[in-house]
């Protein structure tokens, strides 16, 4: 059984390098049996696979001539930028990789509800990658969010916001308000300010207090209003809104 197998495995751990007399062999057998009788049962353990781990301790270099790296020539180092204005350096670096998006989204509150509209083109500079992108995301059946900026950033944070709104609804037995949802998103984005996020969104919906519309950006800024437009095409959209927007307009006229 299991005990005999354990004793057999232990016996292989003691190779006999010299010849023993019969008396010595009997004593050795007795000692093995005694050891087996009083030993604790063996537990099966899982070995950790460390084949993918680094063999050297990672270190942060402070320059090619740093004294801290003496003796660690195999560890790569990097030079800090020669500048005293790190905030300005960071802004310049972000501007160099900031893409041109070409997005136009708008939303406004009117007498019969909230109207949200957006284009469907995904672009990177002058290259058009898609003509059928959904830039209006459903957070819940009573709330929508728009996308302007980086597609991955907007989709991730809207999906994250939808999860938090659902958890709030399950915990409090009521839907979260539009104001509360926009505040949640602003707080999350504020925690990552200055880290290169590209998010410009509007949270529009209907709750117990009526229609609600908020603008939230990637720095955690949050504004409440009755009409907003976000994206590089927003100046043209604001021109149309300023000339044609009226609160008491009917839904049919808004669609046209």
Catalytic residues: 103
State how far the Cα of 81 lies from the Cα of 68, in Å rounded to an integer. Answer: 18
Contact yes or no for 188/157 (Cβ under 8 A): yes
* SS3 state at 60: coil
Q: What are phi and psi of 150, to 5 degrees?
A: -75, 130
213 backbone φψ class: left, alpha, beta (φ>0; ψ -120 to 50): beta
Contact 148, 135 (CB under 8 A): yes
Q: Which residues contact 92 (CB under 8 A, 6 or more apart)?
A: none
């Amino acid at each position: 059984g299991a005990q005999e197998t354990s004793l057999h495995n232990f016996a292989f751990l003691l190779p006999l390098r010299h010849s023993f007399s019969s008396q010595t062999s009997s004593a050795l057998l007795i000692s093995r049996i005694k050891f087996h009788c009083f030993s604790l049962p063996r537990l099966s353990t899982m070995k950790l696979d460390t084949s993918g781990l680094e063999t050297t301790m990672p270190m942060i270099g402070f320059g090619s001539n740093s004294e801290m790296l003496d003796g660690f020539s195999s560890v790569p180092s990097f030079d800090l930028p020669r500048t005293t204005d790190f905030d300005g350096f960071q802004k310049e670096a972000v501007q160099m990789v900031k893409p041109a998006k070409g997005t136009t989204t708008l939303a406004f509150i009117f007498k019969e509800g909230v109207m949200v509209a957006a284009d469907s083109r995904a672009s990177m500079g002058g290259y058009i990658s898609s003509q059928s992108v959904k830039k209006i995301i459903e957070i819940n059946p009573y709330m929508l969010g728009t996308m302007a900026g980086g597609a991955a950033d907007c989709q991730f944070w809207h999906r994250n916001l939808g999860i938090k709104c659902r958890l709030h609804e399950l915990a409090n037995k009521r839907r979260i308000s539009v104001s509360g949802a926009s505040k949640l998103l602003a707080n999350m984005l504020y925690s990552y300010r200055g880290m290169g996020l590209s998010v410009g969104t509007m949270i529009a919906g209907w709750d117990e207090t009526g229609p609600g519309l908020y603008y939230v950006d990637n720095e955690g800024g949050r504004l409440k209003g009755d009409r907003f437009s976000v994206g590089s095409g927003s100046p043209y959209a604001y021109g149309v809104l300023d000339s044609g927007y009226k609160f008491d307009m009917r839904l049919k006229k808004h669609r046209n």
